[in-house]
């Protein structure tokens, strides 16, 4: 499976994806096209937004980071999900897995919504957890251009 299989699905964007989109990195163009043409139902969460802000602040400036966030919100293309309705799913993943809380949020929301968790790339920790036990959702990586079935 590859990223073309995202079409028609709920896709939960991790912070790394938001950062890549905000920086205009070419590898994210396909996902940007899917979002702008509303071929996927793109959602994210507050921890991913925090990652976007602090990374853009470090790489550019806080002014640039705030401007990019304002554009993202104003576009209406990506919904920001409230974490309180996903608390239990996120906590269970964090309890069972050695992953960052932000990654657990992405995965927990994807599981609860029956969607796909979309990461910029397959990090070592996530790869190890996938080998141990499958997640309750599909996981996709942009740089690897693949989807791992649940």
Cα–Cα distance for residue pair 119/103, rounded to 1 Å: 9
| Domain 3-148 top-level CATH class | alpha beta
Q: Where are the domains of the chain?
A: 3-148
* Residues 48/102, Cβ–Cβ less than 8 Å: yes
Q: Does 3 have pLDDT greater than 90?
A: no
76's torsion region: left (phi>0), alpha (psi -120 to 50) or beta? left
Structure tokens, 29: 């163009």
Q: What angle separates helix 101-113 from helix 46-59, to the nearest 10 degrees?
A: 140
3 state DSSP class of 113 = helix
What tokens were used for 16? Answer: 């790394």
| Average pLDDT estimate for 97-101 | 97
Q: Which two tokens stand for residue 55?
A: 């990374």
What would the pLDDT profile of 117-126 be if each residue is shown by its tens digit?
999 999 999 9
- Reported as a single tens digit per residue, the pLDDT across 10-19 is 999 999 999 9
pLDDT band, very low/low/confident/very high, at 149 (cuts 50, 70, 90): confident
Token pair for 37: 């043409």
Give the angle 107-117-18 at the CA atoms, nearest 5°: 105
């Amino acid at each position: 499976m590859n990223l073309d299989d995202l079409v028609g699905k709920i896709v939960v964007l991790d912070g790394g994806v938001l950062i890549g989109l905000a920086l205009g990195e070419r590898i994210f163009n396909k996902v940007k096209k899917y979002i702008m043409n509303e071929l996927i139902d793109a959602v994210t969460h507050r921890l991913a937004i925090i990652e976007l802000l602090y990374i853009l602040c470090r790489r550019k400036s806080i002014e640039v980071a705030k401007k990019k966030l304002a554009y993202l919100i104003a576009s209406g293309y990506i919904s920001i999900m409230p974490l309180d309705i996903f608390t239990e799913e996120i906590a269970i993943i964090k309890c069972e897995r050695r992953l960052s809380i932000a990654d657990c949020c992405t995965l927990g929301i994807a599981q609860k919504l029956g969607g796909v968790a979309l990461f910029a790339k397959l990090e070592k920790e996530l790869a190890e957890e996938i080998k141990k036990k499958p997640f309750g959702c599909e996981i996709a990586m942009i740089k690897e251009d693949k989807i791992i079935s649940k």
